Amino acid sequence: MKSVIKGDFYFPGEVIKDVKSKDKQTIIGPGLRRNEDDPNTLVVSLAGILHHKPPNTFWIEGNRNRYIPKRGDLVVGVVVKKSTDQLKVDIGSAETASLSMLAFEGATKKQKPDVQVGDAVYAKVLNARKEMEPELVCIDAYYKAGRLGVLSNDGFLMNISLKLVHSLLNIENPLLRILGKKFPYEVAVGVNGKVWIRANRSRDVLIVCQAFRAAEHQNDKSIVELCRQYL
């Protein structure tokens, strides 16, 4: 059992003790799970480096490339098969995910969304169990789409590392904001490592892609310099 030390490398099965969080509420991300035997400790499920975002968020960053679905994750996927009532979506996990044709805002048995094989969708993981394929939805708890749904075919889909995904989703990361100050663009970042990008010019899309590739192994300060270089 090891005490919490940010930046330490952990192996699966190790127990992390002395987890101190604000109001005793701990938010855990990929690579960690709660210890049922001791609520004040966490169990490591993925080999990697421990990260902590104050005041109470912990996660493990490893070098895995295979996405492991988790309930509540927002993902970008590609429709690979279509039947009357069901879609099969590639989200980069071991198995394709299922997406009901009724899991879209306003969808009914008589009026279903126009989704075709090859379309990209932005969806939420509803269920993710080991013995079952992941289940997706494109609506929230109030049956509204919000940002979810079919993504325009005008966009460009690219794959990035899971490590970079978590960096981009960190509110302190300046990359998306800096790019947005230079030219308008839209982006949907899936925690599964798939990113959809759309801009007014092909050149702008290329710049975003190059910035993502260059940011793979950079810290926030280096990212700012990279943005200046590409823009």
Residue 181 domain-assigned? yes
- 25-40 per-residue burial string, b: 16 or more CB within 10 A, e: under 16: ebebbbbbeebeeeee
How many residues can be counted in the chain? Answer: 231
Domain of residue 7, CATH code: 2.40.50.100
Residue 68 domain-assigned? no
Residue 67 domain-assigned? no
Q: Which of 107, 125, 150 is at the close of a domain?
A: 150
Co-location of 80 and 124 in the same domain: yes
Between 74-83, 191-200, 201-210, 220-229, the lowest mean confidence (pLDDT) is in 220-229
Calculate the CA dihedral of residues 174, 211, 223, 53 and round it to 10 degrees. Answer: 50
Domain range enclosing 98: 74-150
SS3 229: helix
Q: pLDDT tens, 136-181?
A: 999 988 788 889 999 999 999 999 988 888 888 877 788 898 889 8
Domain of residue 213, CATH code: 3.30.1370.10
Co-location of 166 and 220 in the same domain: yes
Query: CA–CA separation, 145 vs 21, rounded Å?
Result: 33
pLDDT > 90? residue 3: no
pLDDT > 80? residue 67: yes
Co-location of 192 and 214 in the same domain: yes
**What confidence score (pLDDT) does residue 152 get?**
94
Contact, 43 vs 32, CB < 8 A? yes
Nearest in space to 191 (alpha carbons), one of 57, 70, 31? 70
φ/ψ of 208, rounded to 5, equals -60, -45
φ/ψ of 5, rounded to 5, equals -135, 110
Banded pLDDT at 31 (limits 50, 70, 90): confident
**The tokens of 120 are what?**
């990209």
SS3 197: strand
Domain of residue 139, CATH code: 2.40.50.140
pLDDT > 60? residue 125: yes
Q: How far is the first Cα of the chain from the last one, in angstroms, to the nearest whole number?
A: 47
Co-location of 196 and 136 in the same domain: no
φ/ψ bin of 130: left (φ > 0), alpha (ψ from -120 to 50), beta (otherwise): alpha
Banded pLDDT at 228 (limits 50, 70, 90): low
Amino acid identity, residue 81?
K
Co-location of 116 and 102 in the same domain: yes
Q: Which of 124, 150, 176 is at the close of a domain?
A: 150
Query: CA–CA separation, 128 vs 74, rounded Å?
Result: 13
Co-location of 224 and 178 in the same domain: yes
Mean pLDDT confidence for 5-19: 75
Co-location of 222 and 179 in the same domain: yes
- Tally of domains in the chain: 3
